[in-house]
Amino acid sequence: MSDRGKCANCARVTDGPEQKFCPACGQPTPAHRIDWHFLGHELEHSVLHMDRGILYSLKELMLRPGHLMRAYLDGQRAKQVKPLLLLMITAAAVVLLGKYLLGGDLVGSAMQAGYSQGRAMGGNDVADPAVVTRSFAAARDWINTHLTAFTLLCLPLEAAAFWLAFRGRGLNYPEWLVVSAFLTVQTFVFMAFAVVLQRWLPSAQAWSMLFVCTYVVFSLIQMFQSHSRWTTALRTALGLAMFLLAQSLVTGAIVAVLLLSASLG
């Protein structure tokens, strides 16, 4: 155990038993021993507490998304979980649900639709259909296995798309990265519900994407509530269109690399 008269983190001498936090580094003083009581307290305050933590951030993000994002950008962050951490947690939850309820195939239907559309547009003239099919399957498996990495890869593209679509609204690119992270968390929440419902509603994943796009429009209209709703909706649609195009290009690049590897092999 650490010296109760000093901060366990930076060794600054405490001012007395009434001091609850170190003024130098913010560490709680004294540092409590890790036991069942400590773990229960941490669980309650970091996860289950309804006025801060993960559940609070998720509740606000789904019920008052625009207000939450605007407050976070304006500096009101004490009660909120950092957006990137929230994104990683929800991504892990979706991957876990997909593993046990869908056999790990979270993007199969979307990849199949893209492949079918490519064949309808004459893709068979470019390469052996069997090789293309194997490449799409390999890309699907890679995205399923590395969903979080793929999401983080696409996050800067989403931020760039909205930054371009909302030029003149006063937000810089790093701020759009934060907004895009929150919007991606929303996507994972809808995906989680879709995975659960997929057993009874086969089209649940397709419907979830419709809900995602609608909720992005709602969220940004709420965040930019002092501006015209129609203008914000149109700019959001433009941003979504640019992002989906960029995401398709990234997916196509992955498929092309795998196709080249298969051809050389």
pLDDT per position as a tens digit, 66-115: 999 999 999 988 778 889 888 998 998 998 888 888 777 776 554 554 44
pLDDT at 127 over 70: no
Percent of the chain with pLDDT over 90: 34
* Average pLDDT, integer, range 245-256: 81
Q: Say if 42 falls within a structural domain.
A: no
Predicted pLDDT at 123: 47
Q: Say if 146 falls within a structural domain.
A: yes
Predicted pLDDT at 183: 96
Q: Say if 76 falls within a structural domain.
A: no
Query: pTM for this one?
Result: 0.76
| Chain centroid, CA 31 distance in Å | 33
Confidence of residue 40 (pLDDT cuts 50, 70, 90): low
Burial (CB count <10 Å: 0-12, 13-18, 19+), residue 126: exposed
Q: Say if 26 falls within a structural domain.
A: no
pLDDT at 169 over 50: yes
pLDDT at 7 over 90: no
pLDDT at 199 over 90: no
Residue with tokens 């649609």: 237
Domain that holds residue 197: 82-264
Confidence of residue 241 (pLDDT cuts 50, 70, 90): very high
Q: Which two tokens stand for residue 123?
A: 């893709």
Predicted pLDDT at 38: 60
Q: Say if 73 falls within a structural domain.
A: no
Q: Where are the alpha helices (DSSP H) in the chain?
A: 36-43, 54-63, 65-73, 83-101, 108-120, 129-145, 147-165, 173-197, 204-223, 229-264
Residues 6 or more apart whose CB falls under 8 angstroms from that of 249 comprise: none
Per-residue CA distances from 116 to 16, 109, 112 (Å) = 70, 10, 6
| Chain centroid, CA 63 distance in Å | 17
Percent of the chain with pLDDT over 70: 75
Q: Say if 71 falls within a structural domain.
A: no
Predicted pLDDT at 121: 44
Number of domain units in the chain: 1
* Average pLDDT, integer, range 242-264: 78
Q: Which two tokens stand for residue 260?
A: 């080249």
Q: Say if 208 falls within a structural domain.
A: yes
Q: Say if 204 falls within a structural domain.
A: yes
Q: Which two tokens stand for residue 246?
A: 């960029």
Q: Which of 221, 4, 30, 264 is nearest to 135 (CA)?
A: 264
pLDDT at 25 over 90: no
pLDDT at 138 over 60: yes
| Per-residue b or e along 252-261, where b marks 16 or more CB atoms closer than 10 Å to that residue's CB | eebbeebbee
Q: Where are the alpha helices (DSSP H) in 102-172?
A: 108-120, 129-145, 147-165
pLDDT at 258 over 80: no
